[in-house]
Amino acid sequence: MAGSATPNTPTFGKYGKTFQEGLVQLIYQDRPFADQITEVLDLNFLELEYLRVFTEKITAYRDRYSKHPSADAITTILLTELEKEEKVTQQQVKEYFARISTSELEDGEYIKEQSLDFCRKQNLKEAMLQSVDLLQSCSFDEISKTINDALKLGSETNFGHDYLKDFEARYQPRHRQPVTTGWADIDAIVGGGLGKSELGVVIAPTGAGKSMVLVHLGAQAILEGKTVVHYTLELQDTVIANRYDSCITGYPLSDLMGFKDEIYDDIKDLDGSLIVKEYPTKSASVNTIKAHLNKLIKRGVNPGLIIVDYADLLKPVVVRKEKRAELESIYEDLRGMSTEFSCPVWTASQTNRSGLNAEVITMEQISEAFNKCFVADFILSVSRTIEDKQNNTGKIFIAKNRNGPDGIIYDIFMDTSNVNIRTMPKANTISPSATSTQVATSPVALGPKAQRELLLNKYDKYRKTNYKRK
C-alpha cells in the first residue's frame, strides 16, 4: 500500500519507503536501538505522515513514562489518541502497526548500520533548504555554520555524567592537560595553566600590551613543546613572528636584524612549533578559524594552544542588531571552539575608557559587552599607568578563575622592547638586617621610588652587559 507524503516532500532517494518503514519498526521492536537512534532522529526526517505519527506516539510514551511501550500500550494509544489525525492517516497507522506486529523485519542489521547516515543526510537536506533563504541575504558564515552543524549530527557520544553509575569517574584525576602561562605564581593558582577546552581572556586598554602578553603565553607553550597556532587580526604575521623571536631568545626587537643568525640557531631546535595566520580586521569569523584549523589537522599539525589576537576584531558568524550581542556570540563561539578542538584558547579584550589610567583593571572596565566574559574560564587584566610604562612595571589582576582563587594582584616587570614579562616575587616582610642584595630580590616590598631606582639599575645593567636573557 502506498503511503501519502506531505505536499512538499522531496522524492525518495537511497533511503526510501521500505527503509523508513523498517527503521520505525526497529524503533518499536528494539528498545536498545530506540535508545540510541531517538537521540538523533527528528520526526521530520521521516517522509511519510503515518510513520511520523506512529513514531511520535512511541517517543511521547517513552518521555512520559521513562520506559518503552508494550504492544498492548501501543494498541490502546492507537485506539484513543488518533482522533486529531486525518482519516486516511489514522487508517494507514493502524494498518502499518498490524503489518509489523505479524511480520519479521528483513535486513534489520543493515538498517541499523545505515540509520545514522540516513539521519545525517536528512538533516543536511533540511539545512540546505534553510540555506536558500540565507543565500539571498548573503549570510555566508551562517550558511556555513548551518551546514557544519548538520554534518555533525550524531557525533556526540557523551550523554552526560550519571551520578551513580559514574561515581568512580568523578574521583579520578582531572585530565586538563594545562599549558603553562610561564608565570609560576599564576600557574600555581590556576592548576598549572590554561587547560584543554578552556578559554582565557586578557583584558587591557589600548597600548597596554595585550598582544605582547598573548605572545608571551604562546612562547611559553612553545618552550613547553606545544604547537601554537596564533591568529592575528591587527598586526602582520611577520611582526607577530618577530615578537616571538624576541620573547624566546631575549634579543630586543630593534636589534633582531643584527642577530638573525644567532636567533635562528636558538629557535631551530625548539621542541614546540608556531603557525601564525594573518586575517584583516573583521574579515574572519570563528568559522573561518575553525576551517583553517581543520586544514592544519589534515596536514598533521595538531594545535596544543590556540591564540586569537584579538576576539573583538573577529566578524560575528551571525549578524545581530546590537554590537553587544555580536561580541557575546563571538566569545561563546570561541569557547565552543576550545571544546570542539579540545585545546586551550587565549584571546584578549579591550577595556572601556575608564580603564586607560586605572591602577588595577577589573571586569567592570571591559569594553562593550560585559557578558562576553561569562563564558571564559580564566580572565586576567593588565594595567600600566604612564609611570609604569616609563619604569617597565605594571600589574596583573586575576579577575576570574574557575580552577582556583581570584581577586589576586601581581606586580609585574614588563619590557616591551623584548617581550619580557615577569611577575615580581612577593615578600611580606624584610629583616632590618637584610643586605641590599637581599632587598633587590624582593622589589615589591620596596616603596615606589626605591622600586623605580632598582628596576632602572637592573634594566641598564641588563642592556649594557648582554642582549640575551639569562
What domains can you pick out in the chain, each with its CATH number?
17-151 (1.10.860), 184-424 (3.40.50.300), 429-464 (no CATH)
Alpha carbon 113 to its chain centroid, in Å, reads 32
| Structural contact between residues 28 and 100, judged by C-beta atoms closer than 8 angstroms | yes
| Structural contact between residues 365 and 355, judged by C-beta atoms closer than 8 angstroms | yes
Q: How many Cα atoms sit within 13 Å of 101 on the Cβ side?
A: 11
State the pLDDT at residue 307.
Answer: 97
Give the chain's length: 470
State the pLDDT at residue 442.
Answer: 37
Q: How far apart are the first and last CA of the chain?
A: 84
State the pLDDT at residue 138.
Answer: 63
Record the cell numbers describing residue 429, joined without a space. 616582610
State the pLDDT at residue 24.
Answer: 92
Record the cell numbers describing residue 323, joined without a space. 554590537
Contacts of 285 (CB under 8 A, 6+ apart): 141, 314, 315, 316, 317, 330, 333
Low-confidence ranges of the chain (pLDDT < 70): 1-13, 130-161, 169-175, 320-321, 352-358, 364-372, 426-470
| Structural contact between residues 416 and 212, judged by C-beta atoms closer than 8 angstroms | yes
The one-letter amino acid code at 66 reads S
Alpha carbon 63 to its chain centroid, in Å, reads 32
- The sheet with strand 420-423 has its strands ordered as 273-278, 227-232, 305-309, 345-350, 199-204, 378-383, 393-401, 409-415, 420-423
**Residue 393: phi, psi to the nearest 5?**
-125, 180
Spatial distance between the Cα atoms of 440 and 455, rounded to a whole number of angstroms: 9
Q: Which class for 417: exposed (0-12), middle (13-18), buried (19 or more C-beta within 10 A)?
A: middle
| Structural contact between residues 424 and 413, judged by C-beta atoms closer than 8 angstroms | yes
Contacts of 147 (CB under 8 A, 6+ apart): 124, 127, 128, 131
State the pLDDT at residue 443.
Answer: 40
| Structural contact between residues 417 and 252, judged by C-beta atoms closer than 8 angstroms | yes
pLDDT digits (tens, 9 = 90+) for 103-130: 888 888 888 888 888 887 877 777 777 6
Report the interhelical angle of 49-65 vs 71-80 (nearest 10°): 120
**Pairing of the two strands 227-232 and 305-309:** parallel
Spatial distance between the Cα atoms of 319 and 317, rounded to a whole number of angstroms: 7
| Structural contact between residues 211 and 241, judged by C-beta atoms closer than 8 angstroms | no
Contacts of 346 (CB under 8 A, 6+ apart): 194, 200, 201, 202, 214, 217, 218, 305, 306, 307, 308
Record the cell numbers describing residue 370, joined without a space. 560585559
State the pLDDT at residue 205.
Answer: 86
